[in-house]
Structure 1
């Protein structure tokens, strides 16, 4: 059962988090193209596609902690520091994605910010920063999962 949950957890990470990380990272430069030439239908369509990929795969990404908790439970490691730190970082990444990345993508896609304010390059740079932090959080979780500092698994 341990191997099954680990396999499902890792597959969920690859299948869900990879596309979110890539699509979200591609979004700001494409948004800058749209802002520079609003009539660019191709760039606008690409922006919509990247937003849809980010949203759909963010929902699919809910499988990552589900299978992660299942694997940790079967392995009896849920109380270990490396697992707790990974859970906290995963939670931070999820909050960042849900509260800052996806809503800002939607604003840029619609062409206006909160209160009808006009959007500019500064907004795309902020989005790029939040996306970068999201990606760094996942990189940290990946490293922790491999190195497992303080693990009692004997590896």
Structure 2
């Protein structure tokens, strides 16, 4: 059962978190291109699609910690320091996504849709920074999951 849960956890991470990291990273430059393209529907459509990917896969990404907790419980490592750090970093990444990345994407998309004011480069740069933080947190969690201290794999 543990191997099955671990497989689901890893698959959920790949399938859900991968698209969010890529789409979120592509969003700021796509928003800048849409701004300079003017009324180009294709450029704005790309920005909308990237935002939708981020929102949908963020929801699907909730499966990652669910399967992670089930796997950790099955392995009996819920109290291990490396796992507690991973849980905290995962919560931090979720917070960055939910509180900093997605709302800023919403705001930029509204600006592009309404064309009320030009999108300032500082807004897309700040969004890119928060996206980078989100991606870095996930990279650290991934490394912790692979090298996990006390691992019996001998790596």
Shorter-chain TM-score category? Answer: over 0.9
Measure how far apart 1:119 and its partner are: 3.4
RMSD, aligned CA: 1.6
> Which stretches in structure 1 are left out of the alignment for 5+ residues?
none
> Which stretches in structure 2 are left out of the alignment for 5+ residues?
none
**Counterpart in 2 of 1:73?**
73
Contact 1:30 1:47 in 2 (8 A): yes
Contact 1:35 1:120 in 2 (8 A): no
Number of aligned residue pairs: 151
**Counterpart in 2 of 1:135?**
135
* Deviates most, 103-112 or 127-136: 103-112
5 Å-filtered alignment, 1:1-155, equals: 1-111=1-111, 119-149=119-149, 151=150, 153=152, 155=154
CA distance in 2, matches of 1:119, 1:92: 27
CA distance in 2, matches of 1:117, 1:65: 39
Measure how far apart 1:118 and its partner are: 5.7
Deviations 1:41-92 (A, max 9, x none): 1110000000000000000000000000000000000000110010000000
TM normalised by structure 2 equals 0.92
TM normalised by structure 1 equals 0.92
Measure how far apart 1:37 and its partner are: 2.8
Deviations 1:9-66 (A, max 9, x none): 0000000000000000000000011222331211100000000000000000000000
